[in-house]
Amino acid sequence: MIVIGGGLAGLAAGVALAESGWRVRLFEQRPFLGGRATSYVLPDGEHVDNCQHVTLGCCTNLEDFYRRIGAAGKIKFFDRLLFLDPQGRRGKMQAGFLPAPFHLTGSFAAFAPLSLLDKLSIARAMLDILQTQGNPADLQEKGGISMLEWLRRRGQTKRAIERFWRVVLVSALDEELDRTDARFGVDVFWKVFLSNSTGYRMGVPAVPLANLYDGCKSEIERRGGEVVLRAPVRGLKMESGELAGIRLDEGREETADAYVFAVPHAVLAELLPQSMKQSDPALSNLEKIKVAPITGVHFWFDRTVMKEPFVTLLDTTTQWIFNKTALYGDSNGQALTGQYLQLVISASYDLLQKPRQEIIDLCLEEVRKALPAARNAELVKATVIKEAAATFSPEPGVDRWRPRQQTSIPRLFLAGDWTDTGWPATMEGAVRSGYLAAEALLRSDGTPLKFLQPDLPPDGFIAMWVGKHTALVDSPDVSRQSTRALIGLRKDGEKSLDSETYVRELRKGDRLRRFGS
């Protein structure tokens, strides 16, 4: 079989299929693997990531993938997130001794950049997410609603929106709140902060990103396949209206029993012939998926200016500062003089047209304000990497344009963070799509296998609460009457539950599955 594209989606599909006994040939247009989540070497020998990439404890499939390819040991996990506001106030998120969903309550209560009023409004919205297990009723509105609208309906203060919801979600979803489907935003809080006490832990690669994928090539080759770099696929070969192969440069053609296209959606839209788009309506909407930018700014100082591994800045253009020198240790093979910082700005629409020097000046001023030690340090060099199409935009209703991994075209399968995974554009979403494509291919071959990993199981009080629902809801005689009784019981025994929401949700078939999962 052939995989086109050596990003995380293509690599996950390729490795899974190679492990299942298929001979995998993977064609990647660039001279290195990893797609958007990669790194390269500057002319002066410096390794730079395309942009800092982080994972979270709740990214179970990415973790599984790293384990499969022997890269799990190259990710450092941190359980403390540090926030700095322009007034120099610090806030942190760190699990305390309480079980989920209260594990972050202590650090949240002491979070200096927010007032009591802000915190109360956030707590109210969190309670709503908790009570509905991440599925508030208004998320089902036709066409979706924006995260900003969802927050407004819950009376969030301006500062809570700017210094809490926006800070977390713009980084996680690469989009502004008014352009983000609330379904994704709520899901982040349910999976990352509420349902499991380790979901929020942040994993940062301790090596340049490209070094994570050495195991993919060897795994595919060890099982008789090959990974071909500098091999752009230029088109599809059609015979009698059917997919019969791929066309590469210099008239080269390759054929296989099955094809997984793991390229960005805009590339696929160009590669697919019109006839295919017409025969599978799911393939005719790719152009409707919009994209969002991320800008990375890299600073090299002549001395140490920061001790923390990373910090989040509030109320500034710069959103995150990563201390690459500390994160790499000596694994980069570079002399440990000075300090290398990497800044990340998601949904960076305002920066796209700005000259690079202007971005450097703006960010340098913010870094010097946030890190006093940087004020006297010399900036030795700096670079800016603008990714205009960093991720697909999670705008309200986008899911209806995302095709499944199994198409109606024989032998054609799709992978990519933009395919239908339920997840936003993340490394986790990309790996999920690759696993789903591999599962679909094996299913159609009559040799089904499972690769997709389950979400982190709820723990602490959430586990008890979900367990109680599962037992009650799964029982065959759950009628509306017993539902009322159940609500009464919950209202008395465990504080509030919006009874109407609960009845409405309970009547939906898929709710039963959710409770049981």
Ligand X SMILES: Cc1cc2nc3c(=O)[nH]c(=O)nc-3n(C[C@H](O)[C@H](O)[C@H](O)COP(=O)(O)OP(=O)(O)OC[C@H]3O[C@@H](n4cnc5c(N)ncnc54)[C@H](O)[C@@H]3O)c2cc1C
386 in contact with ligand X (CB under 6 A): no
Q: Closer to ligand X at the Cβ: 75 or 126?
A: 75
In order of 11, 370, 423, 487, 509, the CA distances from 186 in angstroms are: 29, 30, 12, 23, 21
Q: Who's near 409: CB < 8 A, 6+ residues apart?
A: 243, 276, 279, 280, 283
Contact criterion met (CB below 8 Å) for 45 and 380? no
Q: How many CB atoms lie within 10 A of CB 94?
A: 16
Determine the interface stretch with ligand X among 1-9, 237-245, 324-332, 359-367 (rule: CB under 6 A).
1-9
Helix (H) or strand (E) holding 282: none
Q: Closer to ligand X at the Cβ: 30 or 159?
A: 30
16 in contact with ligand X (CB under 6 A): no
In order of 9, 218, 440, 441, 514, the CA distances from 19 in angstroms are: 16, 12, 15, 13, 31
Q: Closer to ligand X at the Cβ: 85 or 417?
A: 417
Selected from 15, 28, 100, 398, the binder of ligand X by CB under 6 A is 28
Contact criterion met (CB below 8 Å) for 36 and 30? no
- Classify each residue of 394-431 as buried b or exposed e, where b means 16 or more C-beta atoms within 10 Å of its C-beta: bbbebeebbbbbbbebebbbbbbbbbbbebbbbbbbbb
CB of 39 to ligand X, least distance (A): 11
Two tokens at 30?
A: 């660039």
- Contact pattern for ligand X over residues 185 through 224, marking x by CB under 6 A: ----------------------------------------
Selected from 227, 286, 384, 390, the binder of ligand X by CB under 6 A is 390
430 in contact with ligand X (CB under 6 A): yes
Selected from 427, 436, 441, 487, the binder of ligand X by CB under 6 A is 427
| Binding residues among 401-420 for ligand X as defined by CB under 6 A | 416-417
The most distant pair of C-alpha atoms in the chain lies apart, rounded to whole Å, by 74
In order of 165, 188, 466, 474, the CA distances from 516 in angstroms are: 29, 20, 8, 7
225 in contact with ligand X (CB under 6 A): no
DSSP bridge partners of 26: 3, 227
Closest CA to 294 of 128, 52, 74, 85: 52
Q: Token pair 């690459």 is at which residue?
A: 324
CB of 110 to ligand X, least distance (A): 27
Question: What 8-state DSSP symbol labels residue 69?
Answer: T
- Contact pattern for ligand X over residues 251 through 290, marking x by CB under 6 A: -----------xxx--x-----------------------
Selected from 51, 360, 414, 506, the binder of ligand X by CB under 6 A is 51
CB of 155 to ligand X, least distance (A): 31
432 in contact with ligand X (CB under 6 A): no
144 in contact with ligand X (CB under 6 A): no
27 in contact with ligand X (CB under 6 A): yes
Determine the interface stretch with ligand X among 34-42, 148-156, 192-200, 493-501 (rule: CB under 6 A).
34-42
Contact criterion met (CB below 8 Å) for 9 and 428? no
CB of 303 to ligand X, least distance (A): 27
Binding-site size, ligand X (CB under 6 A) = 38
Selected from 1, 2, 3, 4, the binder of ligand X by CB under 6 A is 4
CB of 103 to ligand X, least distance (A): 22
Contact criterion met (CB below 8 Å) for 139 and 186? yes
Q: What's the residue count for the chain?
A: 517
394 in contact with ligand X (CB under 6 A): no
Q: Closer to ligand X at the Cβ: 225 or 264?
A: 264
Contact criterion met (CB below 8 Å) for 69 and 219? yes
CB of 101 to ligand X, least distance (A): 23
| Binding residues among 467-496 for ligand X as defined by CB under 6 A | none
35 in contact with ligand X (CB under 6 A): yes
For residue 405, the one-letter residue type is Q
Q: Closer to ligand X at the Cβ: 274 or 479?
A: 274
Per CB under 6 A, residues contacting ligand X are: 4-10, 27-30, 35-37, 50-51, 53-55, 232-233, 262-264, 267, 294, 296, 387, 390-391, 416-417, 425-430
